[in-house]
Structure 1
């Protein structure tokens, strides 16, 4: 059987799961199940990204040890996947011992390639997005608050000693890869965004923090914590046995055939991740597909607006198969889609009960005759 390795993005468990998480799980699971039916030996990886400043701040706000918050919330995400009947092979957590080791090994490989150096970072940082931003990637609101231009997340000015990755040295290599492998980024609209971004030139990337201690310590420099995206992206390697690159698991399934992610994290997966892998001397994944967002009646879901949909309540009300069908039928693959209670009821009644239900009933009646 031909191998096929597919992954979801790993989720920050700083809050409870929402219906957008459910959509990514369902869409990826549909691909995994189809590939199995098509004769592939599928390995399906999913999980949670338990490190980073966002987790530490949430734990402080709730008065909990960060590790306790991570365990509690990660369990909720795993239970959601089980409730959705997601056919994953491993639910990885970035606090898993084998992952901590994998993150340290890929860091050391980048050090050995002379792609990491010590410096000082001074600039804007979004805790919500766990992202460094240049001045022109932020905007000032009328009330004086500065936010990320792309996501609207608040940003703060940060100055601290940090290790940098020589991302600037990889712009031409990345562009050459995009040109040679046009299928690497899908859909095309996302590919065009990434190519445009990289074509403008890349700045070296800050890849460690010293202002908090919840994360993977930098090898030989425990006063530095790895930037959460160095740690998080490495999970795709951990899931197939890295750093044991001679193992049967790694040789069979790497490179990954598909990373399924949300469009808001396309830069991390198609710029930073391939550059890290190039530096570490590891083959790149074959494809990154960025799906759209699930909206509520055409509006972005937000806790402050009060329009966030709980996927567990949705399943309890309508049934797991009905929810899975609705997500796959209603949301255009690769584009934003919209949820409303009227829409799911219509799909259940018109498609499942009327069309497919009548087809099944008539077919069985004919068989009986």
Structure 2
């Protein structure tokens, strides 16, 4: 599969490429990650001014109507440059949930600030022992006037240290695994009784353990519909993460090929060894297969096709295994220097490893794909 981009999509892609080439090379990225904040507000605002945050949203909320395909274009280029700013967390996850589950009043109140780049969001859904089950929620919420009071623990909330607001899943009824008892809530990250324990992730980003003790939050959408909203959000997030992974794979292949042309062993360049040529061909094939599947998934998401959730699991699994294969081979061919901090290859390897466990690792999605296939 090879998507023929529209004029608007080509313009978006070329604009992103230009900005990232000029402002987000590997050295600039290392400085951003090493800074106290761990991300760049200046770069974030530059992305907003470029229209990247408006692109996926429909026009009736101030967006440009680009949908999942604009997200795919953005995330593919972000993957090539290892962008750490929270586009997926704020635009795809939070923005997508507000657009999908929020009331008209909530959309008008919350989405414009996201598009303008003035507010950062994070999604707090994972809990200890829940693995990848969206319905496994022990955090509770009880109604108190117009608001709700939340109590519980959320783990590994990516971008929470940067966020102004969190979307938190919490149980209003039922047992721990009851799908129908989960709702979503908007919580101010600086709310009273909300404790944040920040840490660095292996790929250079920031996340946090979040503790809530009678924290006030506002219901997002309808009560009891949190799991279905999260499932739709997960499919869109997988589409974005797969695009990012394919961008990472493209850079790993390019770096490995260039290295094989200049690195000499036994008096000849590495690229002359047939066994390494075969490896790099396999890496190229894995990338091309992943690229086609990623495009197929995002086209299906854009068309809102029936069965897209099954396709998302298939893509997450296939691209996850392909990404790990390409990353492993790139590190091996580069040798010991492949995992040094000074070389970008190791950083791409770590990002692939992180993508592989977000919203379910490849093994989980193989099983989920089989279950959805049997149910079809």
Question: TM-score, normalized by length of structure 1?
Answer: 0.23
Bigger proportion of residues as helix: 2
Structure with more relative contact order (C-alpha pairs < 8 Å, separation 6 or more):
1
Between Structure 1 and Structure 2, which shows a larger proportion of strand residues? 1
